[in-house]
């Protein structure tokens, strides 16, 4: 990997996306003394998912002390689980405090990226520009998925996706139709149930709900955290160990942690809903944790509020006045909200990425998205991804994942900057071996127990990390250079 007399180089880095991962990458580069980087952000503000999603009840399901960058604790969270607006404000503050904004080009959507002549050429509305390293930080839940329902465009009232919430529409006076009961649908229902004229929830499949309290953080506690930063550091350590040793283990390995979460879910439904017919509607057929785990403290209370109805009959079509279900009933509503999720397998797409030899990422992923340790793809030198295929997004905090990935990418950039290498990409053999090991480990996870979820890829297996988060941290902590095709300067 070394050259006879390696010469230091100035390395330019392109980061696509100024959300949680992009800001993390920028901060890590700054800490390494690298200032020649540019973030391309198609919107007019940072934040990514937390900028785009503003629906009522939006709350993170990771404890606030752990849903922060380890290098920038926040003593001012209002609740144990942070509300969406506070998370967005946190990212805005980080971008400002770290002077990252001067590196961001807002309103600059990258249309394509192609590797040629040892550089990554990015095409934006402003033209073409070359960089030494390409980092994609485009997020995983960013492209809304709209349902294919007959007559959807004929609805006479306001209608929007939950990720494109129209706050000009008043809610209390509306009969609201909500399509979708995933994490977003549950949070919206929990927030609006009993507070609007009517709420009709169209449920295709029931979800297990894990009870999770969300107490308010007292002003006295906030003051203590500001005065003694070590308390914040302890909180980060405590919640990181709690999440990683409990929720990080339960989905991927049979044991008492899985039993505990599943038992909580079952007893939560049993004790919270008294009406037998309603309880039947809300009882899933799959195992708890088979789909994305949903944490909510008062969902079951909300669905029992006056004016709230759970409809399990399939939707046949939408008419100007409302939604028609298979039993012939027209459910009249004034507002239609589509909480129908996202294309979770887009990764960098629809960005057109072309690697060596003119091979596109679409071609490389024709049989399903795969990567080396979720961060790199064979044949795409000096390109790194955040939250790529099989990242541990199903059992860890995404901020923690991003930090480990950023450290890993920074290590490779340091090799480039020191002149030790000029290009690196994982080998086909190492990538194949890594993915085969993951595939062999999948049967022990709860995600393969028979449910349908957005976790599943083309091969019917979850595009998730099948081991504990600590193992992923170890994999990224020590880069295996022998797993890469490395080119040195002549």
Q: Where are the alpha helices (DSSP H) in 396-456?
A: 398-417, 428-441
- Measured CA to CA, the distance from residue 198 to residue 38 in angstroms comes to 47
Same domain, 163 and 302: yes
For residues 170 and 318, membership in a common domain is answered with yes
Dihedral of alpha carbons 360, 364, 367, 368, sign = negative
Task: Give how many domains the chain has, as a whole number.
Answer: 2
Residue 29 is encoded by which pair of tokens?
Answer: 């580069």
Q: Is it the case that residue 184 has pLDDT exceeding 50?
A: yes
One domain for residues 107 and 202: no
Domain that holds residue 288: 152-208+253-338
Is residue 490 predicted with pLDDT exceeding 70? no
Same domain, 56 and 137: yes
Do 390 and 451 share a domain, yes or no?
yes
Q: Is the pLDDT of residue 348 over 80?
A: yes
Does 52 map to a domain?
yes
Pair of tokens at residue 188? 């919206």
pLDDT digits (tens, 9 = 90+) for 195-243: 999 999 999 999 999 998 899 999 999 999 999 999 999 999 999 999 9
Q: Binning pLDDT at 50, 70 and 90, where does residue 6 land?
A: confident
Q: Are residues 328 and 347 in the same domain?
A: no
From CA 478, how far away is CA 370, in angstroms rounded? 21
The pLDDT value recorded for residue 1 is 54
Asked whether 25 and 137 are in contact (CB, 8 A), the reply is: yes
Cβ neighbour number for residue 107 with a 10 Å cutoff:
12
pLDDT tens digits for range 435-456: 999 999 999 999 999 999 999 9
pLDDT at 272 over 80: yes
**246, part of any domain:** no
Note whether residue 328 is domain-resident. Answer: yes
- Rounded to an integer, what distance in angstroms lies between the CA atom of residue 84 and that of residue 91? 11
If phi > 0 it is left, if psi is from -120 to 50 it is alpha, else beta; for residue 139 that is: left
Same domain for 431 and 356, yes or no, is yes
Model confidence at 287: pLDDT above 90? yes
CB 382 within 8 A of CB 120: yes
Helix (H, G, I), strand (E, B) or coil at 352: strand
- Strand ranges (DSSP E) for 137-271? 159-161, 175-179, 198-202, 209-210
Give domain status of residue 477, yes or no. yes
Among 160, 168, 159, 208, which residue's Cα sits nearest to residue 186? 208
Domain boundary among 338, 359, 394: 338
Give a yes or no: residue 245 inside a domain.
no
Domain-terminating residue out of 292, 308, 338:
338
Q: Please, which pLDDT band fits residue 3 given cuts at 50, 70 and 90?
A: very low
Which tens digit of pLDDT belongs to each residue from 356-369?
A: 999 999 999 999 99
pLDDT at 212: 86
Query: Does residue 188 form part of some domain?
Result: yes
| pTM of the predicted structure, to 2 decimals | 0.95
- Cβ atoms of 469 and 395 closer than 8 Å: yes
Residues 306 and 193 occupy one common structural domain:
yes
pLDDT of amino acid 464: 96
Nearest Cα to 345, choosing from 399, 379, 388? 388
5 pLDDT more than 70: no
pLDDT at 4 over 80: no
Q: Are residues 293 and 361 in the same domain?
A: no
Tens of pLDDT along 375-408? 999 999 999 999 999 999 999 999 999 999 999 9
Residue 286's domain is classified under what CATH number? Answer: 3.50.50.60
Distant-in-sequence, close-in-space partners of 364: CB < 8 Å, separation ≥ 6 = 355, 377, 378, 379, 380
Residue that finishes a domain, picked among 304, 323, 338: 338
The mean predicted confidence, pLDDT, of the chain is 95
Quote the DSSP letter at residue 94.
H
Give the pLDDT mean for 145-152: 96
318 and 458 share one domain? no
**pLDDT given at position 349:** 86
Mean pLDDT of 132-159: 96
Express as a percent the part of the chain with pLDDT over 90. 93
Q: 346-373: string of b/e by CB count within 10 Å (b at 16+)?
A: bbbeebebbbeeebbbeebbeeebbbbb
Which residues make Cβ contacts (< 8 Å) with residue 435, sequence separation at least 6?
Answer: 370, 390
- Answer yes or no: do 308 and 394 share one domain: no
CA 445 to CA 453: how far, in whole Å?
14
Same domain, 75 and 203: no
Interatomic CA distance for residues 239 and 82, integer angstroms: 13
Count CB neighbours of 417 within 10 A. 21
Tokens representing 125?
Answer: 């509305």
Q: Give helix 398-417 / helix 469-477 axis angle, nearest 10°.
A: 10
**444 occurs within a structural domain:** yes
Inside any domain, residue 213: no
Residue-wise pLDDT for 115-134, tens only, equals: 999 999 999 999 999 999 99
């Amino acid at each position: 990997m070394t050259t006879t007399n390696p010469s230091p180089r100035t390395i330019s880095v392109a980061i696509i996306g100024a959300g949680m991962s992009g800001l993390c990458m920028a901060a890590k580069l700054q800490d390494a003394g690298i200032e020649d980087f540019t973030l391309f952000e198609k919107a007019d503000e940072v934040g990514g998912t937390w900028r785009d999603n503003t629906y009522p009840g939006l709350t993170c399901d990771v404890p606030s002390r752990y849903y922060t960058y380890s290098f920038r604790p926040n003593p001012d969270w209002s609740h144990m689980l942070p509300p969406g607006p506070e998370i967005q404000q946190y990212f805005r503050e980080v971008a400002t405090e770290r002077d990252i904004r001067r590196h961001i080009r807002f309103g600059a959507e990258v249309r394509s990226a192609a590797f040629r002549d040892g550089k990554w050429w990015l095409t934006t509305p402003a033209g073409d520009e070359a960089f030494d390293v390409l980092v994609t930080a485009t997020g995983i839940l960013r492209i809304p998925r709209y349902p294919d329902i007959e007559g959807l465009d004929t609805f006479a009232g306001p209608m929007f996706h939950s990720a494109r919430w129209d706050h000009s529409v008043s809610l209390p006076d509306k009969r609201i139709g909500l399509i979708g009961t995933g994490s977003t649908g549950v949070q919206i229902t929990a927030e609006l149930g009993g507070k609007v004229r009517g709420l009709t929830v169209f449920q295709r499949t029931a979800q297990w709900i894990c009870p999770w309290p969300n107490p308010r953080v007292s002003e006295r506690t906030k003051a203590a955290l500001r005065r003694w930063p070590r308390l914040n550091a302890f909180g980060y350590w405590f919640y990181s160990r709690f999440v990683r040793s409990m929720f990080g283990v339960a989905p991927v390995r049979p044991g008492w942690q899985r039993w505990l979460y599943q038992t909580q879910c079952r007893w939560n439904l049993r004790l919270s809903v008294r009406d037998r017919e309603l309880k039947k509607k809300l009882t899933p057929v799959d195992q708890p944790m088979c789909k994305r785990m949903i944490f909510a403290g008062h969902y079951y209370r909300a669905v029992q509020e006056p004016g709230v109805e759970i409809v399990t009959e399939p939707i046949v079509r939408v008419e100007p006045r409302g939604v028609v279900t298979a039993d012939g009933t027209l459910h009249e509503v004034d507002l239609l909200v589509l909480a129908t999720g996202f294309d979770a397998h887009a990764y960098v797409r629809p960005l057109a990425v072309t690697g060596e030899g003119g091979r596109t990422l679409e071609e490389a992923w024709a049989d399903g998205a795969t990567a080396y340790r979720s961060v790199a793809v064979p044949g795409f030198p000096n390109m790194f991804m955040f939250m790529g295929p099989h990242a541990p997004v199903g059992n860890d905090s995404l901020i923690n994942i991003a930090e480990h990935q950023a450290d890993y990418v920074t290590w490779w950039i340091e090799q480039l900057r020191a002149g030790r290498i000029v290009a690196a990409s994982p080998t086909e053999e190492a990538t194949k071996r890594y993915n085969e090991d993951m595939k062999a480990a999948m049967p022990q996870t709860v995600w393969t127990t028979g449910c349908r979820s957005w976790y599943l890829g083309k091969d019917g297996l979850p595009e998730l990390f099948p081991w504990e988060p600590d193992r992923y941290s170890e994999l990224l902590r020590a880069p295996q250079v022998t797993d890469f095709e490395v080119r040195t300067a002549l």
